[in-house]
Structure 1
Amino acid sequence: MKWRRARKSENVVDRRGASAGSIGGIGIGGVVVVVLISLVLGKNPLEMLGLLSQVQGPSTTTTSAPIDDEASEFIASILGETEDVWAMLFERNGSRYAPTRLVLFNDRVTSACGSANAAVGPFYCPADQQVYIDLGFFREMERRLGGGGEFAEAYVIAHEVGHHVQNLTGVSQRVNQARSRGQNVSGEQGLLVRQELQADCYAGVWAHHAQRRHDWLEPGEIEQALATASAIGDDALQRQSQGTIVPDTFTHGSSEQRVRWFRTGFDVGDPARCDTFAAPEV
């Protein structure tokens, strides 16, 4: 992937080295374990990690280190491209895109959504409008889940930025209101799945425009991203963890759904085609 063709964002905050160790004895090696347990129990991984974080106090040290290594330069380039693409798309609709910040951390971090460690994987916190990533997740993603490669990593980042777009457009608030009313939002056709699949579609929309702008994809990289989307489907994760699939507990969508909605966004490049909430079935 010729990612150096993109503009590097200035909205990357590097907190790596600000904290070390683990929370409740769980380090980067527990990434998949906690995510899988959360899916099986139908819990929010952030809530589970928040409980574990009480065992050790959260880090209070914050550093904004220079973007001076290849991994962080890659992150800054991908984030910069999401800023440019979404600014263009928002402008077409007569509005202004407010970029998210992306926080790099090691092992554990404190956000406005609570404390979390690497086991939660990349996440977006709507309360502070920031994306959080421990880069060790990408190594675990390749080693344990069979997904990997630069464009696959870019897809993960673009998915989290998709949640930021949902926050800006009011989608996240409507889903949260439904949850606060006691509505069951889980399940293969539930609001949580529709929210996640829309973020997948938005990642595809971003990839469509980024490729048109830079012609930066190498042969096989689309397939890498699709393989990653398939590997992190609820059904694939449940099959790996417990040997059975329970659609009523889905929160992110099946492998087929995640691949299909990412592909929809990538093929058409139109955010309007990503209205998973209006679809009779996703």
Structure 2
Amino acid sequence: MEWKGRRQSGNVEDARGSGPVRGGMGGNPFGRGGGFRIPTGGGGRGGGMSIGTIIFLVVIYFILKMMGIDLLQVMDGGQTSPSPSGYEQSQGTTQGSAEEEERKAFVSTVLAETEDTWNGIFKAGGETYEEPKLVLFRDSINSACGMASAATGPFYCPGDHKVYLDMAFFDELAQRFDAAGDFAEAYVVAHEVGHHVQNLLGILPKVNAQRQSMSEADSNQMSVRVELQADCFAGIWGKYTEQKGLLEQGDLEEALNAATQIGDDTLQKRTQGYVVPESFNHGTSEQRAAWFKRGFDSGKLSACDTFKGNI
């Protein structure tokens, strides 16, 4: 994707060095009516410790402290000085590194391109597009949909109209899901922005209200339709990007491969060796790739009605 030198969005909030950031209400971001995420093959939220466990660990810490053993120094290998950026750097791509700063610039550019696309579409329909914020975080974040960890993958929270992204997911996308490439990464951002478009169009509030009274199986099926429509909306963005002459050879294939690799059936086969169709909540690999391609081929909202007929 030809992205360097293009406009970067001013709607990116960098919370990578600030720890968990509070954004409003608590609760599970991935329950019914919560956030909408890129699946990672794991659970919706990271695990947590009980109060009893925390108290026990605190007691152990102070006992060792009285014995002259500083557990924090032991765990840190004796290094307690903060890094120049103001926090302990983890292994892999780190904040402030050239690679991660380039990724931030890339994400900001992709977000700007989605703004151009949806501003134009909404304006053509006589409406005004509300541009979402995109929050970059590391490890964990507290959004208006509740606390989430990096393990949940990128997600959109309807409660605060923000997309949340730990950019380490891009490494996972390439290494764990075999979906490398800048346009594969752009697809992830465009998909979450697609959920924002659904929210502005009133689709998410309507669906979330309906899901409250549905069985788990019916709720999962409704979730699949929501996710496939977000894929289709991402395809519309891809179409407008192509019309600008920004796509390079192989870009479309990267996005289609990414959609395929994070299909429910493919993820379940990879993680547990078998599939449970009634538990699907994002769509099969074939469905995800097909709906992205439908949006890409048509460039029209009318082609993305996943709530009618078979999907």
Same structural fold, with TM-score higher than 0.5 when normalized by the shorter chain: yes
Instruction: Give yes or no for contact 1:53–1:115 (8 Å, CA) kept in 2.
Output: no
Aligned residue type for 2:198: Q
Q: Is the CA contact (8 Å cut-off) linking 1:5 and 1:216 kept in structure 2?
A: no
Deviation at 1:173, TM superposition (A): 0.8
Larger relative helix fraction: 1
Q: Which of 247, 252, 262 is matched with 2:292 structurally? A: 262
SS in 1 for 2:214: coil
Inter-partner Cα distance in structure 2 for 1:53 and 1:76: 35
Q: Map of 1:39-188 to 2, 5 A cutoff?
A: 45=44, 48-49=45-46, 52=48, 69-184=101-216, 185-187=218-220
Alpha-carbon contact 2:211-2:219 (below 8 Å) kept: no
Q: How far apart, in 2, do the equivalents of 1:176 and 1:10 lie?
A: 30
C-alpha displacement of 1:186 = 4.1
**1:155-185 CA distance string (max 9 Å, x none):** 0000000000001011111111112123443
What's the CA shift for 1:7? Answer: 2.0
Aligned to 1:10: 10
Partner of 2:261: 231
Distance 1:37 1:106, change over 3 A: closer
What is the aligned length? 248
> In structure 2, what is the Cα distance between the partners aligned to 1:157 and 1:208?
15
The secondary structure found in structure 2 opposite 1:103 is strand
Structure 2: gaps spanning 5 or more residues? 21-38, 55-94
In structure 2, the CA distance between the partners of 1:110 and 1:36, relative to structure 1 (3 Å rule), is: same
Deviation readout 1:173-224 (Å, 9 max, x if unpaired): 111111212344345xx110000000000000001012212x1111111111
Cα distance change of structure 1 residues 6 and 265 upon mapping to structure 2, 3 Å threshold: farther
Q: Which residue in the other structure is 2:283 paired with? A: 253
Q: Structure 2: how far apart are the matches of 1:52 and 1:257?
A: 34
- Counterpart contact for 1:186–1:248, Cα < 8 Å: no
Rounded Cα–Cα distance in structure 2 between residues aligned with 1:97 and 1:251:
28
The one-letter code matched in structure 2 to 1:101 is K
The alignment's TM-score, normalised by the length of structure 1, stands at 0.83
Across the aligned residues of Structure 1 and Structure 2, the Cα RMSD in angstroms comes to 2.2
Paired AA for residue 149 in structure 1:
G
- Contact 1:148/1:225, CA 8 A, preserved across alignment: no
TM-score by length of 2: 0.75
Give the deviation of 1:272 after TM superposition: 1.1
Corresponding residue of 1:24: none
Q: Which residue of structure 2 lines up, in the alignment, with residue 201 of structure 1?
A: 232
Q: Which amino acid in structure 2 is aligned with residue 191 of structure 1?
A: M
Distance 1:6 1:155 in 2: 18
Aligned-partner residue type, residue 186 of structure 2: A
Gaps of 5+ in 1: 21-33, 39-44, 57-64
Q: 1:101 to 1:54 in 2, by over 3 A?
A: farther
